[in-house]
């Protein structure tokens, strides 16, 4: 847990430093202007890009942080959760259709995936939800792996949607808070509150993940 919290602190520090010493603020303002210039379509564009990145095995962590900086906490969380869920669903469906053989080859002999498959056979949607909370597997990878299991599509989608909310909200809030602290015309005390809030949000997310990890291990899936 200490390692994860340390990484979270580094992320927040990196955001603040980037805004101080790089023209990130200008880049973001241009992109923000572009997205907002599209109106409601801007949200749709961001969601589509996010979903495609997830389905294409492209880490979307930068987009998660960007959503917090551009759309704020609430808007950013909604955009990321929807985009990630759509991307995860696309990957799931691809694994059950055109990419099935390729994914089977990659997971064949993988003890961790075998344990996950057996656990889902016993407890289904519960395991998907816990894996999402605990981040037991890399997000982009497990989306395809889940497609080879027997979990029904609607259960998978619902469990994914609900399971990714805590971590998503934490990182989007941290990004939004760090952005306000670095660029907003606020007092030093307010900036400290923003940064502290971001750190606390991520710590809570890590604690939730640890609880979920223990539950996943009890179900027979090792997260180490």
* pLDDT tens string 115-138: 666 777 677 788 888 888 876 667
Question: 155: Cβ–Cβ under 8 A, 6 or more apart, which residues?
Answer: 124, 125, 128
Both tokens of residue 67? 């959503």
Mean confidence (pLDDT) of the chain: 74
Q: How many CB atoms lie within 10 A of CB 214?
A: 13
Assigned domain for 212 exists: yes
Assigned domain for 94 exists: yes
Assigned domain for 58 exists: yes
Question: Looking at the 3D structure of the chain, how many domains does it have?
Answer: 1
Assigned domain for 223 exists: no
Q: What is the pLDDT of residue 16?
A: 55
Assigned domain for 138 exists: yes
Q: In which domain, by residue range, is 99 found?
A: 2-218
Both tokens of residue 37? 């210039």
Assigned domain for 61 exists: yes
Assigned domain for 224 exists: no
Q: For 33-46, write each residue's pLDDT tens digit.
A: 777 777 788 899 88
Assigned domain for 43 exists: yes
């Amino acid at each position: 847990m200490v390692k994860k919290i340390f990484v979270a602190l580094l992320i927040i520090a990196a955001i603040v430093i980037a805004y101080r010493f790089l023209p990130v603020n200008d880049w973001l303002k241009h992109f923000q202007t572009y997205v907002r210039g599209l109106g409601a379509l801007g949200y749709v564009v961001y969601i589509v890009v996010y979903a495609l990145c997830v389905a294409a095995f492209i880490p979307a962590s930068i987009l998660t942080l960007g959503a917090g900086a551009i759309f704020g906490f609430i808007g950013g969380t909604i955009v990321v959760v929807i985009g990630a869920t759509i991307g995860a669903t696309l990957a799931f469906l691809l694994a059950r259709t055109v990419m099935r053989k390729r994914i089977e080859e990659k997971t064949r002999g993988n003890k961790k995936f075998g344990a996950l498959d057996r656990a889902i056979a016993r407890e289904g949607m519960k395991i998907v939800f816990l894996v999402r909370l605990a981040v037991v597997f890399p997000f982009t990878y497990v989306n395809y792996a889940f497609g080879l299991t027997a979990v029904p599509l609607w259960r998978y989608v619902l469990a994914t949607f609900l399971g990714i909310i805590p971590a998503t909200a934490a990182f989007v809030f941290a990004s939004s808070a760090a952005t306000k602290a670095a660029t907003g015309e606020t007092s030093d005390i307010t900036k400290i509150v923003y940064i502290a809030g971001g750190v606390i949000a991520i710590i809570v997310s890590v604690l939730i993940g640890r609880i979920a990890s223990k539950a996943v291990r009890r179900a027979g899936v090792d997260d180490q």
